[in-house]
């Protein structure tokens, strides 16, 4: 599928205690591309990101980032590898007691020995890239939801990472802010020569900016393709997800025993 692969996931399994979350996931993330991972809530998307970032160790299978087997390297090696990763968390996750400037400066101060003068210039450059250089002195509580997400994006790319991961970057945004964030993700990825993995439910915005999409259901890859292939797909799962249809392979209700068994006395069931 792709010639130059940055992240190579093979037969990935993960369990919480005895509950399977990921079951045999195979995925290739190419350099320089924006790839979306989609699926219903609780299907394992965020768990997959955490396995790529080394926060979770898979039960079996492999996650390879460049030449590194993420689950098998030492803590110190993983820490160094994370210098090459950026992460945008759900709702931004800014440090509430730090200014916009200090939020963006945090990873630079943590991972480098740059002088404060250099840090100042770099932070202002990143904030300029997301249109918020003038907001550097504000506190997170003074920002709108869209502004906070843009600050979080500037922080995620502060060290010019080779890999940026986005966990639901569009959640809670109005349509204008959503469109701005989507275009920023695409433009920053291309400008930095980075690779982006985006976990999202927003199919319509994603189809405008991504290069490839994986659909996850019950811990497995059930469909994949380019935006054009997804739009033209007749796959029942893809059709239900794209059209937001209530009926299809994805069920709204969590599996349970019959209503009769829960609400009728045993004597009535005899």
What proportion of the chain, given as a percentage, has pLDDT over 70?
89
- Please count the structural domains in the chain: 1
- CA dihedral of 113, 117, 121, 127, whole degrees rounded to 10: 80
Listed in sequence order, the residues at least 6 apart from 111 whose beta carbon sits closer than 8 Å to its beta carbon are: 83, 159
CA–CA separation, 60 and 26 (whole Å):
12
Residue 153 covered by a domain: no
H or E stretch including 241?
Answer: helix 236-243
For the cut 70, the answer to whether the pLDDT of residue 10 exceeds it is yes
Burial class (CB in 10 A: 0-12, 13-18, 19+), 167: buried
- More confident call, 269 vs 17: 17
Tokens describing residue 163: 């890999």
Listed in sequence order, the residues at least 6 apart from 149 whose beta carbon sits closer than 8 Å to its beta carbon are: 88, 91, 92, 169, 173, 177, 181
CA 140 to chain centre: 22
Residue 139 covered by a domain: no
**Mean of the per-residue pLDDT values for the chain?**
84
Residue 40 covered by a domain: yes
- Segment 249-260 shows an average pLDDT of 61
pLDDT at residue 110, as a whole number: 86
| Residue 50 structural domain | 5-84+162-174+195-269
Confidence at 251, pLDDT banded by 50, 70, 90: low
Residue 48 covered by a domain: yes
| Tens digits of residue pLDDT in 58-88 | 888 899 988 888 888 888 888 888 888 888 8
Instruction: Give alpha helix (H) positions in 83-136.
Output: 100-111, 116-129
pLDDT at residue 31, as a whole number: 92
Residue 141 covered by a domain: no
H or E stretch including 45?
Answer: helix 45-53
For the cut 50, the answer to whether the pLDDT of residue 2 exceeds it is no
| Tens digits of residue pLDDT in 129-160 | 888 999 999 999 999 888 888 899 899 999 88
- Segment 105-118 shows an average pLDDT of 91
| Tens digits of residue pLDDT in 194-210 | 999 999 888 888 888 99
pLDDT at residue 36, as a whole number: 93
pLDDT at residue 197, as a whole number: 94
List, edge to edge, every strand of the sheet that includes 19-30: 19-30, 5-16, 60-65, 68-69
- More confident call, 246 vs 20: 20
- More confident call, 250 vs 39: 39
Confidence at 268, pLDDT banded by 50, 70, 90: low
Owner of token pair 């080394």? 54
| Tens digits of residue pLDDT in 221-243 | 888 889 888 888 777 777 676 76
pLDDT at residue 92, as a whole number: 67
For the cut 70, the answer to whether the pLDDT of residue 3 exceeds it is no
CA–CA separation, 192 and 197 (whole Å):
14
What proportion of the chain, given as a percentage, has pLDDT over 90?
29
Tokens describing residue 155: 């922080």
Residue 240 covered by a domain: yes
| CATH value at residue 65 | 3.40.50.300
Q: For the residues of 149-205, what is the DSSP string, one character each? A: HHHHHHHHTTT--SEEEEESTTTT--HHHHHHHHHHHHHHHHHHT-EEEEE-S-HHH
CA–CA separation, 237 and 108 (whole Å):
42
pLDDT at residue 28, as a whole number: 92
Residue 35 covered by a domain: yes
Listed in sequence order, the residues at least 6 apart from 172 whose beta carbon sits closer than 8 Å to its beta carbon are: 91, 145
| Contact yes or no for 156/192 (Cβ under 8 A) | no
Residue 46 covered by a domain: yes
């Amino acid at each position: 599928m792709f010639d130059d692969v940055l992240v190579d996931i093979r037969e990935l399994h993960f369990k919480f205690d005895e509950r399977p979350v990921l079951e045999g996931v195979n995925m290739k993330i190419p350099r320089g591309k924006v790839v979306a991972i989609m699926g219903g809530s609780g299907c394992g998307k965020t768990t997959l990101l955490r396995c790529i970032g080394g926060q979770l160790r898979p039960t079996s299978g492999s996650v390879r980032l460049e030449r590194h087997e993420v689950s098998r390297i030492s803590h110190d090696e993983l820490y160094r590898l994370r210098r090459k990763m950026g992460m945008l968390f759900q709702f931004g996750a800014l440090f509430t007691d730090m200014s916009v400037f200090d939020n963006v400066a945090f990873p630079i101060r943590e991972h480098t020995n740059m002088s404060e003068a250099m840090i100042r210039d770099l932070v202002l450059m990143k904030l300029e890239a997301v249109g918020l250089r003038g907001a550097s002195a504000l506190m997170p509580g003074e920002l709108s939801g869209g502004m906070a997400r843009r600050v979080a994006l500037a922080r995620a790319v502060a060290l010019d990472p080779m890999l940026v991961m986005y966990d639901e970057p569009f959640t809670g945004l109005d349509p204008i802010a959503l469109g701005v964030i989507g275009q920023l993700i695409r433009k920053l990825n291309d400008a930095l020569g980075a690779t982006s993995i985006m976990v999202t439910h927003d199919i319509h915005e994603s189809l405008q900016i991504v290069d490839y999409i994986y659909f996850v259901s019950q811990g497995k890859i059930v469909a994949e393709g380019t935006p054009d292939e997804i739009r033209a797909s007749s796959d029942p799962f893809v059709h239900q997800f794209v059209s937001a249809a209530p009926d299809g392979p994805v069920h709204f209700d969590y599996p349970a025993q019959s209503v009769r068994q829960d609400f009728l006395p045993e004597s009535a069931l005899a």
